[in-house]
Structure 1
Amino acid sequence: MERMPSEILLKIFSYLDAVTLLCAGCVNRRFYHLANDNFIWFRIYTTAFSPKRCNWKVNSAEKTAVSMKSLSVEDKEAGYWKKEFITKQRASVKAALAQVLQPVNPDTGLPVKTKEALSFSFPRISGLCWVIILKAKNGQEYVMEHTDLSVHDSSVTIMWYGKNWPQIAMLSALDLCGVTPVFMDRSKTPSKNGPYKLPPHTPLLDDHPEYGLHGYQLHVDMHSGGISYLCGTFRNLFTKKGSIENGYVKLVVIRFKNNTEHLPLIGKVGLSWRTDVFDGCIKSCSIMDVTLLDEYGKPFWCFSSPVCMRSSGPSDGPNFLGQTYCVDYVDLEGKVHVELVWIKETEEYFIVSLVLYLRTAKINQWFGTAY
């Protein structure tokens, strides 16, 4: 093919679709310049984005406009219509995804159709995926695409495993990137995306002086892989002003003394893992997703983290007979404390207490006032 005249190669390239043409341009310098041909890309552009007329007849004015536009193709620099096509294609993909993600779940403050949006661009179909870029000390890079994922109400769990990972000792850096497709087909030209950031928040004054926090809503999910052990929403949470302990405001969600609020964990709790060869389960561990919305439905505190149930001794209360466990999580914005009891007769855990501790510094920043 190297000996073929450019005219013949251009004729061959004119039969290629956009993705194949981009791949052909990566073969060598000559193919790159030929694959940038404006006439080929102008045809691809107009075919993809011109209004589709099934039964309409094109009038003479429209024919003249198309002819004039075709004549101007030569005046553009090489690759102009390729860039125009890619820009328009990316905009159309983003617009399609934005339309899917418009409805918001009132429980989580997140898009209702997150799972559908991921399926809309599932990696085996169009290329949306997460990759880990491992950088070796000698400058070599290893790009590892995710192997599996599971979607939950307020999080996506992504898994990587394989036999071809480089040795840890030779690595100097690790980058985690979200990759989105340019073309909605089986081939992909990825572009990196940064991490998701919550929208900016404007502090609001609290107009209910008798309460501290009021009208808050918690959505909590404990899961592992595709299995959910607990998924629930708690509304109208509040705390009286002055309920501050060591720089935290206490928000009680499930009360130990109120049996009607206690909830069971469904299934055998464990954090599942697998590789190409082995699989297993880490007992008493899971992923906890917490989304706390303020009185206006805005995300106040969100996290997704592995947690572990730790034994805290036998139950000393009259209502429960069994071993007690606790789950704790702490970050810069708050703490979560969960108490559970193992009911031996039914072989299940019951959550008998769930308390959030929110840092006063976080609350002051949120409202723009001193709490």
Structure 2
Amino acid sequence: SMPSEILIKIFSCLDAASLLSVGCVNNRFYHLANDNGIWLKIYSSRFQPKRAARKMKTEQTEAGSLGCAALCDRNPGYWKKEYIAKQIAAVKTRVMQLVISLDPYTGLPCKNREAIKASGLSWIIVLEDRYGKKHVMEKANLLFKDTSVTILWYSTCWPCLDILSSLKLFGVMPLFPDQSRAPRKNRPHRCSLIAEYHLANLTESSVAVGADKLVQLFSLSPGLLVGLWKEKNEIAFVMASLHYHQLLERSTLGSTTVQYVLPLNQPVLDDTDPEYGLHDYSLHIDMHGRTCTYLCETFRSLFCRKGGV
């Protein structure tokens, strides 16, 4: 086999995402790809400002000494973890700056769309058949509205509906958003389970909500539409509507098996009036299709009785 020194030399020419992918090949590659010398170089080039071309000899000597100490005093993989942690923190800071401003009518961040794009967030569905085989559908169209994003998955090679048992919706966050345009299957990323749907006996167990000459629509809760070809009884497309309320948290803070649990929100009763509970609330309704808006209205000064809370 090739000597480790040569492999490390080759690995030093890779970028961070490729280096993480190489580390998944086998145990030997994993340990070699954790080399602190490689990752310190990547870390320094990304997060430390470029030094001036001319430097005093003493400064170069000190820098070399500090570099040796940084390599010798750290466990293997230390600078890889530092680089990844700082990348995640930088993205989080950028996203948080975008979601600070809230819309006075909806109470949602004004720049949700920009925040989603800045984070590199996307969504995939994973279809699992009764034999345990998984089919990942990534190609999707996105439609951003004031209060939600609609995602449409389409393909000419859907798996056979008769053998499918479940559909899982995941949020996918690239580890390095700057490189999110690369094929996601081969790039490091994190997945967060948003919802799971059962597809066994879909036509009998789900609600048919519409049809045309070619396709029949079935609704699965929460927020999923499945279009089936009438003649073949096979999947034509899948559409999900995701409300912006804590969408970033739901799409990033869960795991591949466990959904993110939203914090419990208990409204505080208004005791100024013994007959009524909540006062002066606003309700914003936004009903739309893919190409037009049917209703967009805000209702203000609402209240409710205590028994209805």
TM-score bracket, shorter-length normalisation:
0.5 to 0.7
Q: Secondary structure at the match of 1:70?
A: helix
Partner of 1:132: 125
Alignment counterpart, residue 273 of structure 2, candidates 203, 209, 224: 209
Q: 1:164 to 1:33 in 2, by over 3 A?
A: farther
Partner of 1:151: 144
Alignment counterpart, residue 115 of structure 1, candidates 110, 113, 116: 113
Letter in 2 for 1:17: D
Q: 1:63 to 1:234 in 2, by over 3 A?
A: farther
User: Is the counterpart of residue 219 in structure 1 residue 284 in structure 2?
Assistant: yes
Q: CA deviation at 1:216?
A: 1.6
Q: CA deviation at 1:27?
A: 3.8
CA distance in 2, matches of 1:228, 1:54: 56
Q: 1:107 to 1:159 in 2, by over 3 A?
A: same
Aligned length: 237
Q: 2:172–2:190: 8 Å Cα contact kept in structure 1? A: yes
Q: 1:98 to 1:208 in 2, by over 3 A?
A: same
User: Is the counterpart of residue 164 in structure 1 residue 228 in structure 2?
Assistant: no
CA distance in 2, matches of 1:23, 1:113: 33
CA distance in 1, matches of 2:61, 2:298: 60
CA distance in 1, matches of 2:139, 2:56: 48
Q: CA deviation at 1:149?
A: 1.4
Please, what TM-score do these two structures have when normalized by structure 2?
A: 0.66
User: Is the counterpart of residue 229 in structure 1 residue 294 in structure 2?
Assistant: yes
Q: Secondary structure at the match of 1:192?
A: strand
Q: Which runs of 5+ in 2 are unaligned?
A: 195-249, 251-260
CA distance in 2, matches of 1:97, 1:223: 27
Instruction: Indicate the larger mover: 211-220 or 196-205.
Output: 196-205
Q: CA deviation at 1:206?
A: 1.0
Q: CA deviation at 1:54?
A: 5.6
Letter in 2 for 1:26: C
Q: Secondary structure at the match of 1:179?
A: strand
Letter in 2 for 1:160: W
Instruction: Indicate the larger mover: 204-213 or 8-17.
Output: 204-213
Q: 2:124–2:172: 8 Å Cα contact kept in structure 1? A: yes
Partner of 1:182: 175
Question: CA-atom RMSD, angstroms?
Answer: 3.0
Q: Percent identity?
A: 47
CA distance in 1, matches of 2:36, 2:188: 20
Q: Secondary structure at the match of 1:158?
A: strand
Q: CA deviation at 1:237?
A: 2.8
CA distance in 2, matches of 1:63, 1:10: 25
Partner of 1:9: 7
Partner of 1:79: 77
CA distance in 1, matches of 2:101, 2:285: 20
Partner of 1:141: 134
Runs of 4 or more, structure 1, over 6 Å off, are none
Letter in 1 for 2:65: S
Q: 1:120 to 1:156 in 2, by over 3 A?
A: same
Please identify the structure whose Cα radius of gyration is greater: 1
CA distance in 1, matches of 2:262, 2:101: 17
Q: Secondary structure at the match of 1:104?
A: coil
Letter in 2 for 1:151: F
CA distance in 1, matches of 2:47, 2:61: 17
Letter in 2 for 1:189: P
Please, what TM-score do these two structures have when normalized by structure 1?
A: 0.56
